[in-house]
């Protein structure tokens, strides 16, 4: 009853809701299996939960029955605009259990996350990700919109932004991740370069 076939047949409804404390272990499993990179992404989620920013993180889960099958987090970052700093959000990470991928769950999580951010008066949501995937979900190339990335390690097109209803034209500048992303080296791609012997 908890397989991806259930979602296709429709007997179990997909629900997107706010994460609860009792979801933490299931969210860790989602990211461990979705990213397959050990502890990096689960550690990022835990550190973002523990941070105490002015703009509280927004953490959503997708469930099928009682099983958590997907998760998305929006966390506080800043835009260094000329007139003043602007509180914005970063969408990272987004993960769906492998057996539930390609069924629209990530799209539902992104749509709900953007709607919730908009209702909180957040003007901009940034991310690093596939332009093909996120371009269909409300995001556009941030550099083409006049924003500067926080690192030179972004692949072309990966630095993206969604402009929400409280966005104003003067809000342009450099996107600045919170310290958590830097401390865990979760900004931009690192080349796998072997060290000389």
Span 93-123, pLDDT tens digits? 999 999 999 999 999 999 999 999 999 999 9
How confident is the model over 118-140, as a mean pLDDT?
Answer: 95
How confident is the model over 72-101, as a mean pLDDT?
Answer: 94
Q: Is 190 inside any structural domain? A: no
pLDDT tens for residues 146-192? 999 998 888 889 999 999 999 999 999 999 988 887 777 677 765 54
Question: Cα separation of 133 and 146, whole Å?
Answer: 21
Average pLDDT, the chain: 86
> CATH number of the domain that 14 lies in?
3.40.630.30
Question: Cα separation of 89 and 185, whole Å?
Answer: 18
Handedness of CA 172, 173, 174, 177 (dihedral sign): negative
Q: Is 168 inside any structural domain? A: yes
Predicted local confidence at residue 6, as pLDDT: 44
pTM for this predicted structure: 0.84
Question: Cα separation of 143 and 175, whole Å?
Answer: 10
pLDDT tens for residues 148-160? 999 888 888 999 9
Into how many domains does the chain fold?
Answer: 1
Q: Is 154 inside any structural domain? A: yes
Q: Is 173 inside any structural domain? A: yes
Host domain of residue 33: 4-183
Which two structure tokens, joined as six digits, stand for 191? 């080349």
Q: Is 191 inside any structural domain? A: no
* Look-up of token digits 């990096």: 40
Predicted local confidence at residue 44, as pLDDT: 87
Would you tell me how many other CB atoms lie within 10 Å of the CB of residue 20? 12
How confident is the model over 15-34, as a mean pLDDT?
Answer: 93
Predicted local confidence at residue 117, as pLDDT: 97
Ramachandran bin of 57, using left for φ above 0, alpha for ψ from -120 to 50, beta for the remaining angles: beta
Q: Is 95 inside any structural domain? A: yes
Query: ω before 80 within 30° of 0 (cis)?
Result: no
């Amino acid at each position: 009853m908890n397989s991806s076939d259930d979602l296709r047949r429709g007997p179990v409804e997909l629900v997107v809701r706010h994460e609860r404390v009792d979801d933490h272990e299931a969210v860790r499993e989602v990211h461990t299996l979705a990213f397959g990179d050990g502890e990096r992404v689960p550690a990022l989620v835990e550190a973002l939960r523990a941070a105490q920013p002015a703009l509280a993180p927004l953490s959503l889960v997708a469930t099928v029955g009682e099983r958590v099958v997907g998760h998305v987090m929006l966390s506080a970052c800043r835009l260094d605009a000329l007139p003043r700093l602007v509180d914005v959000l970063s969408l990272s990470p987004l993960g769906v259990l492998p057996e539930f991928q390609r069924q629209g769950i990530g799209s539902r999580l992104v749509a709900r996350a953007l709607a919730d951010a908009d209702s909180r008066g957040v003007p901009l949501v940034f991310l690093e990700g596939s332009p093909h995937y996120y371009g269909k979900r409300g995001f556009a190339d941030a550099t083409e919109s006049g924003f500067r990335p926080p690192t030179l390690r972004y692949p072309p097109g990966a630095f993206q932004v969604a402009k929400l209803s409280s966005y104003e034209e003067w809000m342009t500048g450099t996107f600045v991740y919170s310290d958590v992303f830097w401390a865990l080296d979760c900004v931009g791609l690192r080349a796998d370069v072997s060290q000389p012997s």
